[in-house]
Structure 1
């Protein structure tokens, strides 16, 4: 399986691949479920190799570690999935 950092780099730097609509699905520990967010709404600092920021419906900013990303969708199709922890 490709590491999430490599997939995000491909989305960023490959114009043909990255021009699609991407969605990240991350594990929310409070809600105990996968929460999906459009990649365009996530703030990814290229210098931060550990997490990204996302704002929820109530306007609260969440700092989400990359290891909690469980799924990535491209144009609605699942293209990447991390196995659930035991």
Structure 2
């Protein structure tokens, strides 16, 4: 299986592969469910390679460890999954 950080970097930097709409599904420990977020709404900070960040509706930044990513979709089709 492709490591999630490699897939996220490919989405970000590979111009041929990155055409399409990507959605990341991560496990939320408070809600106890998978949360789906568009790839365009996350950032991959250079200073912290093992996480991604997103800003919620209230404007708060959340840092999510990459080990909590459970799925990645491209144009609605599951392309990567981990239990």
Considering the TM-score relative to the shorter chain, is it more than 0.5? yes
Unaligned runs of 5+ in 2: none
Superposition TM-score, scaled by structure 1 size: 0.88
Q: Does 1:56 align with 2:59?
A: no
Higher mean alpha-carbon deviation, 28-37 vs 57-66, is at 57-66
Superposition TM-score, scaled by structure 2 size: 0.91
Q: For 1:6-50, what per-residue CA distance to the aligned partner results, in whole angstroms no more than 9, with x for missing partners?
A: 111211221111121100000000000000100000011134211
Paired residues in the alignment total 83
Unaligned runs of 5+ in 1: none
Q: CA RMSD in A?
A: 1.2
Q: For 1:32-76, what per-residue CA distance to the aligned partner results, in whole angstroms no more than 9, with x for missing partners?
A: 000010000001113421111112233322110000000000011
